[in-house]
Chains A and B, each alone.
Chain A
C-alpha cells in the first residue's frame, strides 16, 4: 500500500479532453462538474428520448435547525445549487427538477415514507448515520432510490447491509477520513515521534466508529499507545473534563471527530485550558465542517483538519477553476464558504442526476428505479471537487482532503493550508474486504 498524499496531478489536474471523454460529453454532466465553459455547441443526443414532461420531484432531509444545522444547511445549499444548475441547463433529459427540503431530526423513516407517499422520484439525505442505518431496509422495501448525503459509518455497507439495491451514499465514509487523519499525523510528526495518542469523540456510532478506525490505523503505522479516550455527549455544553484528562496525559496526538458545535466547543475549551500546549497535534476529520463558525484565534495552534471529499482550494485553482467558481457562487448566493457538507448535498444530487441522464441515453426513455439503481452502481462523475465513483458496494469514493487549519482574511473564514489529497484507494479497503481486516493486514 502507499501512504501519504498523492500529487495533485494524479487526482484533479485533468484536461478538457479527458473530462469530456469521461463524462460522455453530456451538457448536464459538464455543467454539474462546473465547467460550462468547456461546452461546445452540439446536438443533444437526448432530444429524441421518450421522457415524460412533468418535472422530477425530489426530497432532501437534512438538519435545517439547531446545533447540527451547521452541517445540514450546507448540505441543503449544496443540493439546491446542484438543482439550480441542472435546471439552468435544461433539466435532466429535458425534465426540470424540484427539491423539497425537510428537517431530518428524529424523523428519518417517516420523512422518507412521506416522500415516497408524495410520489418523489428520488430522495436525498440524511446527515445522521443512525438515521441512515434506520432507513436502508425501508429504502430497499419501498424501492425508491435514496442517495444519502452523509451518514458515514463504515460498517453500514461493509457489514450491516452488504447487498443493497436502492440505497446509496455519496460522501466518503469514516474509514477514509480516519485513515487520512492517521496519515496526516504521521506526515506532520513522523511515525517515530508518535508514542501516545488520545481521543475525544462524540458519544454515538459515528464517533465510536471513527475512533476505532483511527486507533487501528495509528497503532498499525506507529505502534502508538492509547492513553485516553473520552466520549462526550453529542451536542454537549462542556468538554472540560475530557480536556483536563487529555492535558494530564499530554499525548503526542489527539484525534477528534467532533463536528458542528462540538468542534467549536473543543477548540474553544482546548485553547482556554491550554490543550494545544500540552499536545503536539490535534487531527480532526470534520473540524472544518464548522469553518464558517470558527474565529481567527481558534484555528491558532497545531490543528489539522480533514475536509472529506471536497476542499474549495483543491484541486488547486490554477488548473481547475470549477472549485474556485463554486466558492464565489456560494459566497454570493448564501454568504458562506462552502464546506465538504455543501458537497455532500451537491454531490448526492449530481450522482443521481448524471446517472439518470446516462440511463436515458442508454435506454432512450426514462428509467425505472431499478434500472437507474443499476446505472448508479460503478457510476463515475465529476463535481467541482473532482472525480467520484459510486462503488459496487453503493459507497461513494473520491479523494480525501486534510490540511492545517488556518485563517483566511480573504474569505473571513477558517481555511486549510498545505492540503494533502489522499486517493480513495489509499485510505479505504479494496472491494470485498472490510476496513478492520484491511488495516489489520498492514
Chain B
C-alpha cells in the first residue's frame, strides 16, 4: 500500500491526509465532481446552460456550506446568513468604490474581515439561544443590517455600490487587468480553487476534536457543558467560522456581479434561500449545500426564461424534496442507487411503487376533500 492508500474495515480507501479518507466510490465521485467543476466553462459554451448562473450558484452554495456547519453539527437553524453574505459583498464594494482598492484579492480580504467582524458581533448575542429563537434572532439581526444599509447614503441606499474601482473596469486579479470574458473565466477558476480549499478545510474541521465538540453541543447541550465544553464559546467560534464562509462567498459574489445592492445580498429571504440550499442539496453531507446552491439559484434565475409559472416550478421542486427526498439531492444518491439496483433485479417492485404512489395520492386527495367537506358543512 502506498502512502495514499489505506485498508480500513476491509475496504481500500484513498487517504488524502491524516484522517481524511475516501472510499472508492467517494473518490470516483470526487474526481468526477472536480472534472465537472473545471469543465463548467466549456460545458456551458457547448450547451445552453448558463455559466453565470452556475457560478452564482456555487457562491451561494459556499455560503450554505458555512451555514451547514451550524445546521449539521451544532443543530442550529440560522435564518440570518445573508448578513454575512451581504456584509462580505459590501466589504468588497466599499473598498472598491470608496477607497479605490483595485486588487481583487485585497477586496476579498476586506470581505472576509468585514463578515468575520459582523459574525463575531452577532455571534456574541445569539450563541446562547436555541431552536426557533436562534433562527428568529439571527433573522432579526439580518433585517436590522438590511434596514441600516438601505437607509444609508454611505452604502448608496437601495442602488448599492459598484465594485469597479475606477468606475468602469473590474478589479485586477493576480495583479492583471483582464478583459471581460477573461475576467469571468479567471474568477471562475479562482472560485473553484477557493471552493475546493474551503471544502477541504471544512472537512478537516468537522472531523477534528473541535468538530466533535460541535456535534456534542448539537446533540445534547447540557451534557456537552458537563463534559467541560464551553458551549457558548464554541458556538460563537462556529458562528464566526460560518461567517467567514459567508463573507468569502459574498466577496466573490461582489467580484462576479461587480455591483452590490441590498436586496439580492442582504434581504431576509436571501437568508432563507441559503438555508434551503443546504437542505435541498443534503445537509447531512459536506458537498450537498454546494449542489443545493447551484440547483436553487439555477431555478430561481433561469426558470423565468423558460416557463411562465417559474415560482410554482421552484416551489414544487422544494415540496417534492421535503416529501420524497428528505436527505436532499446528494444525501439521497446512495438510497436511490440501492433502490434502483433492487428494482433491476426484481421488476415486480416497480409495480408496487406505482401502487404506493397511487394510493398515497388517493389518500391525500380524499383527506383534503373530507377536510373541506367538514369545514364547509360541519361534522355530520
Direct contact of A and B (CB under 8 A): yes
Q: Does A329 contact B (CB under 8 A)?
A: no
Residues of B within 8 A of A234 (CB): 158
Q: Which of A127-141 contact B (CB under 8 A)?
A: 129-130, 133-134, 137-138, 140-141
User: What is the size, in residues, of chain B's interface with A at 8 Å between Cβ atoms?
Assistant: 29
The interface-forming segment of B220-228, B239-247, B254-262 is B254-262
A103-B304, A204-B159, A205-B158 known; A138+B52 contact, CB < 8 A: no
Q: Does B128 contact A (CB under 8 A)?
A: no
Residues of B within 8 A of A103 (CB): 304
A129-B159, A161-B168, A203-B151 known; A109+B180 contact, CB < 8 A: no
Choose one: B53, B259, B264; the contact of A133 (CB below 8 Å).
B259
User: What is the size, in residues, of chain A's interface with B at 8 Å between Cβ atoms?
Assistant: 28
Closest A-chain residue to B259, C-beta based? A134
Choose one: A130, A138, A153, A161; the contact of B160 (CB below 8 Å).
A130
Q: Does A208 contact B (CB under 8 A)?
A: yes
Closest A-chain residue to B264, C-beta based? A106
A106-B264, A110-B53 known; A134+B180 contact, CB < 8 A: no
Q: Does B324 contact A (CB under 8 A)?
A: no
Taking the closest CB of chain A, its distance from the CB of B270, in whole angstroms, is 10
Residues of A within 8 A of B162 (CB): 133-134, 137, 160
Quick one: CB contact mask for A196-210 with B, threshold 8 Å, 1 for yes? 000000011100100
Q: Does A117 contact B (CB under 8 A)?
A: yes
A110-B301, A142-B180, A203-B151 known; A130+B158 contact, CB < 8 A: yes
Residues of B within 8 A of A138 (CB): 258
Residues of A within 8 A of B50 (CB): 110, 113-114, 117
Choose one: A100, A113, A137, A204; the contact of B168 (CB below 8 Å).
A137
Residues of B within 8 A of A129 (CB): 159
Taking the closest CB of chain A, its distance from the CB of B269, in whole angstroms, is 10
Closest A-chain residue to B301, C-beta based? A110
Choose one: A114, A130, A141, A208; the contact of B305 (CB below 8 Å).
A114
Question: Is B301 in contact with A107, judged by CB distance below 8 angstroms?
Answer: yes
Quick one: CB contact mask for B45-74 with A, threshold 8 Å, 1 for yes? 000101111001000000000000000000
Closest A-chain residue to B168, C-beta based? A137
Taking the closest CB of chain B, its distance from the CB of A25, in whole angstroms, is 39
Residues of A within 8 A of B156 (CB): 205
Q: How far is the CA of A158 from the CA of B257 in the complex (A)?
A: 23
Question: Is B305 in contact with A102, judged by CB distance below 8 angstroms?
Answer: yes
Q: Which of A280-309 contact B (CB under 8 A)?
A: none
Choose one: B53, B157, B180, B302; the contact of A205 (CB below 8 Å).
B157
Q: How far is the CA of A203 from the CA of B258 in the complex (A)?
A: 23
Q: How far is the CA of A118 from the CA of B47 in the complex (A)?
A: 11
Question: Is B305 in contact with A106, judged by CB distance below 8 angstroms?
Answer: no
Question: Is A204 in contact with B259, judged by CB distance below 8 angstroms?
Answer: no
Closest B-chain residue to A102, C-beta based? B304
Residues of B within 8 A of A203 (CB): 150-151, 157-158
Question: Is A134 in contact with B56, judged by CB distance below 8 angstroms?
Answer: no
Taking the closest CB of chain B, its distance from the CB of A268, in whole angstroms, is 24
Residues of A within 8 A of B167 (CB): 160-161
Quick one: CB contact mask for B137-171 with A, threshold 8 Å, 1 for yes? 00000000000001100001111101010011010
User: What are 27 A-B pairs with beta-carbon distances under 8 A?
Assistant: A100-B305, A102-B305, A106-B263, A109-B257, A109-B259, A110-B50, A110-B52, A110-B53, A110-B56, A114-B50, A114-B52, A117-B50, A117-B51, A129-B159, A130-B158, A134-B160, A134-B162, A134-B257, A137-B259, A138-B258, A141-B180, A160-B162, A161-B168, A204-B158, A204-B159, A205-B157, A208-B157
| Top-9 shortest CB links A-B | A141-B180, A130-B159, A204-B158, A134-B259, A205-B159, A113-B52, A110-B301, A103-B304, A106-B264
Contacts beyond the supplied A103-B304, A110-B50, A140-B168: 13 A-B pairs with Cβ under 8 Å: A114-B50, A114-B302, A118-B48, A133-B159, A134-B257, A137-B162, A137-B164, A137-B258, A137-B259, A142-B180, A161-B167, A203-B151, A234-B158
